[in-house]
Structures are given as structure tokens and as C-alpha cells.
């Protein structure tokens, strides 16, 4: 029987399910390693060499080097793990979340102060809300199935 995944039609959203977790295991465990101060220092001194110690795919390594969190998520990353990269870079959670939306840091902060992103048009793929791929500069990278 096919698994029930009713969340695949939520726009701009990748649910970290068992399949994504399987794809992202080494990427996420690399992120976990950054919870130790000495590992953060080693990563910062030579990112590529540190990444090469992990059995990650080249695509995963490139996504990390580019700090492209949408790509990291598409290849199995989970935001709570990826947040360790942001912490290593001295970024706040708001800066990290905002970086995935195609907005500037100020625009994103102002949106939150204004009450956040509206749900209208953002429930199902194919509506016309601001999180839909056709309304997003990076929307074409959206991988949802």
C-alpha cells in the first residue's frame, strides 16, 4: 500500500519525513557535529576539507558551501539541523528562515512585525499566494515530490 503523504501539495514546504531523513542522514549528522566548538573552528578554517570528511553527496556539499538552505532542504536537510550551520555563521533563526523566502532580511523582519505571512493563497499548490513558486524568485528550485 502506498504511504499517505497528504502534505506534498503544501506550497513552499518540504516535510521532513522518513524518506527525506534517509536522503539527508549524513548532511544532518554533519550539521550536528557543529554543536562542538572545536568542530565549528575546524569547519570555518577549511569548509571543503571538513565536508569531505563526511559521506555526503557533492550536491549536498555544494548546497552547504553556498549556504542555500532551500537546496539543503531539497537534498534531505532539516531546518533544526541546518540551524547549526547558521549558528556557526553567527546568524539568527530569523535570518535563516528569511533567507529561504527571496526577501531581504529587513523585508522579512517587517513582514513578521506586520503579522507574518498570510495563509491566504498559500494552502495548496496552484493557488496565488506569495509562497507559490510562480511568485518566488527561487521558486523553480522547489522540490516537493
Partner 1 sequence: MSKARISASVYTSHVPAIGAALDLGKSSEPYWQKVFAGYEFSKQWLKENPPDVILLVFNDHATAFSLDMIPTFAIGTAASFTPADEGWGPRPVPVVQGHPELAAHIAQSVIQQDFDLTIVNKMDVDHGLTVPLSLMFGQPRQWPCPVIPFAVNVVQYPVPSGQRCFKLGQALRRAVESFDKPLNVQIWGTGGMSHQLQGPRAGLINKVFDNAFLDRLIADPAGQAAVPHIDYVREAGSEGIELVMWLIARGAMSDVTGGKAPEVLHRFYHVPASNTAVGHLILENPL
Binding mask 36-75 for partner 1 (x = CB under 8 A): xx--x----------------------------xx--x--
Q: What value, to the nearest 5°, has the Cα angle with vertex 140 and ends 20 and 69?
A: 50
For CA atoms 30, 33, 38, 40, the dihedral sign is: positive
By CB under 8 A, tell whether 121 contacts partner 1: no
d(CA 107, CA 53): 37
Of 43, 61, 63, 142, the residue at the interface with partner 1 (CB under 8 A) is 142
In contact, 135 and 128? CB cutoff 8 Å: yes
Contact between 117 and partner 1 by CB under 8 A: the answer reads: yes
123 in Cβ contact with 117 (< 8 Å): no
Residue 130: all three cell numbers together: 506569495
- As a whole number of angstroms, the distance between CA 97 and CA 14 comes to 13
* Half-sphere exposure (Cβ direction) of 118: Cα atoms closer than 13 Å: 6
Count the residues of the shown chain that bind partner 1, applying the rule CB under 8 A. Answer: 61
Candidates 23-31, 43-51, 53-61 — which segment interacts with partner 1 by CB under 8 A?
23-31
Q: How far is the CB of 40 from partner 1 (least distance, A)?
A: 8
Residue ranges that bind partner 1, judged by CB under 8 A: 6-7, 10-18, 21, 24-25, 28-29, 31-32, 34-37, 40, 69-70, 73, 78-81, 83-84, 86-88, 92-94, 96-98, 100-102, 108, 111-113, 115-117, 119, 122-124, 131, 133, 136, 138-139, 142
Amino acid at each position: 500500500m502506498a504511504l499517505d503523504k497528504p502534505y506534498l501539495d503544501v506550497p513552499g514546504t518540504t516535510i521532513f519525513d522518513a524518506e527525506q531523513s534517509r536522503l539527508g542522514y549524513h548532511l544532518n549528522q554533519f550539521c550536528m557535529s557543529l554543536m562542538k566548538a572545536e568542530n565549528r573552528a575546524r569547519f570555518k578554517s577549511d569548509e571543503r576539507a571538513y565536508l569531505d570528511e563526511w559521506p555526503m553527496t557533492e550536491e549536498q556539499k555544494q548546497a552547504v558551501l553556498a549556504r542555500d538552505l532551500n537546496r539543503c532542504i531539497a537534498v534531505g536537510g532539516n531546518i533544526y539541523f541546518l540551524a547549526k550551520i547558521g549558528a556557526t555563521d553567527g546568524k539568527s533563526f530569523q535570518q535563516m528562515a528569511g533567507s529561504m523566502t527571496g526577501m531581504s532580511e529587513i523585508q522579512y523582519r517587517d513582514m513578521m512585525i506586520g503579522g507574518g505571512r498570510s495563509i491566504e493563497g498559500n494552502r495548496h499548490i496552484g493557488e496565488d499566494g506569495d509562497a507559490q513558486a510562480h511568485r518566488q524568485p527561487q521558486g523553480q528550485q522547489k522540490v516537493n515530490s
